[in-house]
Amino acid sequence: MRLGFKADSLLERVADFLNLAPRPVVQAFFGMMAARTLMAGVRLGVYTALTEGPATSEALAERLKLSPEGTRALLEALISCEVVTRKRGRYSLDERAQRWLDPRSSQYMGAFLEFNYAQWDWWSQLENVVRTGKSVDIHDFAPEDPRWKDYIHAMHQLARLAAPEVAGAISLPRGARHVLDLGGAHGWFSAELCQRNKGLKATVLDLEGSARVGREIIAAAGLTHVVTHREGNILTSELGGPYDAVLVFQVLHHLSPAQNVALLRRVRAALAPKGTLAVLEYLREDTEAPPSTAALIGLHYFLTSKAAAYSSAEVEGFMEDAGFRITKTQTVRHLPLQTLILARPE
Ligand X SMILES: C[S@@+](CC[C@H](N)C(=O)[O-])C[C@H]1O[C@@H](n2cnc3c(N)ncnc32)[C@H](O)[C@@H]1O
For residue 155, the tally of other CB atoms under 10 A from its CB is: 24
Say how many residues touch ligand X, by CB under 6 A.
17
The pairing of strands 178-182 and 201-206 is parallel
Among 139, 177, 196, 201, binds ligand X (CB under 6 A): 139
Which of the stretches 80-88, 229-237, 313-321, 327-335 binds ligand X when contact is defined by CB under 6 A? 229-237
The H-or-E segment that residue 152 falls in is: helix 147-169
233 binds ligand X (CB under 6 A): yes
Give dist(CA 210, CA 145) in Å, integer: 10
Q: What is the dihedral of CA 265, 258, 328, 302, to 10 degrees?
A: 140
Give dist(CA 124, CA 145) in Å, integer: 19
183 binds ligand X (CB under 6 A): yes
- What sign does the CA torsion over 45, 33, 84, 5 have? negative
185 binds ligand X (CB under 6 A): yes
Among 155, 170, 270, 340, binds ligand X (CB under 6 A): 155
Closer of 55 and 149 to ligand X (Cβ): 149
Smallest gap, in angstroms, from Cβ of residue 276 to ligand X?
A: 16
Q: How far apart are the first and last CA of the chain?
A: 34
Smallest gap, in angstroms, from Cβ of residue 159 to ligand X?
A: 4
Interacting residues of 154 by C-beta distance below 8 A, sequence separation 6+: 111, 112, 114, 115
258 binds ligand X (CB under 6 A): no
Among 57, 197, 250, 304, binds ligand X (CB under 6 A): 250
CA distances from 256 to 78, 129, 228 (A): 39, 17, 28
Closer of 83 and 158 to ligand X (Cβ): 158
Return left, alpha or beta for 133; rule: phi > 0 is left, psi -120 to 50 is alpha, else beta.
Answer: left
Closer of 99 and 139 to ligand X (Cβ): 139
Smallest gap, in angstroms, from Cβ of residue 239 to ligand X?
A: 11
Nearest to 162 by CA among 280, 246, 83: 280
Interacting residues of 234 by C-beta distance below 8 A, sequence separation 6+: 182, 183, 205, 206, 251, 263
Q: What is the dihedral of CA 170, 175, 181, 186, to 10 degrees?
A: 90
115 binds ligand X (CB under 6 A): no
Closer of 178 and 254 to ligand X (Cβ): 254
234 binds ligand X (CB under 6 A): yes
Which of the stretches 17-25, 73-81, 227-235, 312-320 binds ligand X when contact is defined by CB under 6 A? 227-235
Closer of 72 and 201 to ligand X (Cβ): 201
Site for ligand X in 36-95 (CB under 6 A): none
Site for ligand X in 265-284 (CB under 6 A): 280
210 binds ligand X (CB under 6 A): yes
Closer of 67 and 233 to ligand X (Cβ): 233
Binding site for ligand X (CB under 6 A): 139, 155, 159, 183-185, 206-207, 210, 233-235, 249-251, 254, 280
